[in-house]
Structure 1
Amino acid sequence: MDDRLSRGEIRKDMVQEVVGAGASAVGEVTSIITTAVRDVANAIGGFATDVFEIRDGARRAARHHAVDDD
């Protein structure tokens, strides 16, 4: 019995491996980009929260200062 693979089957296996490797690479890159976008959004959200807290603190300080001046 001849257990050798035909050229067609070898090519099919090669294409299957290349497509699988490509899909894995695309998945990894997509995951990296998704994580980066999420991290940037969280950083911007954290900065915005800090700005709101600073603004509110400044308003409270201004009101407190205005009450002390009366």
Structure 2
Amino acid sequence: MDERLSKTEIGKDAVQEIVTAGASAVGEVTSIITTAVKDVANAIGGFATDVFEIRDSARRAAQQPDE
């Protein structure tokens, strides 16, 4: 029994592998970007919290009477 693959089937298999590899790469890049955006948002949020705390501390210090 001759079980050779036709050129059409070989081409189909190659396209299938290319699409699968592309989808995997897109998924990895998407995950990297999602993590980066989340990390940047957390860093900016932490910075904003620090700014608010510093501003409040400065305001309280300015309201204290001089000794």
Could you say which TM-score interval applies, normalised by the shorter chain?
over 0.9
In the superposition, the TM-score normalised over structure 2's length comes to 0.93
Q: How many residue pairs are counted as aligned between the two chains?
A: 67
- Find the aligned partners of 1:25 and 1:42 in 2 and give their Cα distance: 26
RMSD of the TM alignment (CA)?
Answer: 1.1
Structure 1: runs of 5+ lacking an equivalent: none
Identity of aligned residues (%): 81
* TM value normalised by structure 1: 0.89
Gaps of 5+ in 2: none
1:38 aligns with: 38
Query: Runs of 4+ in structure 1 displaced over 3 angstroms?
Result: none
Structure with more of its chain in helix, by fraction? 1
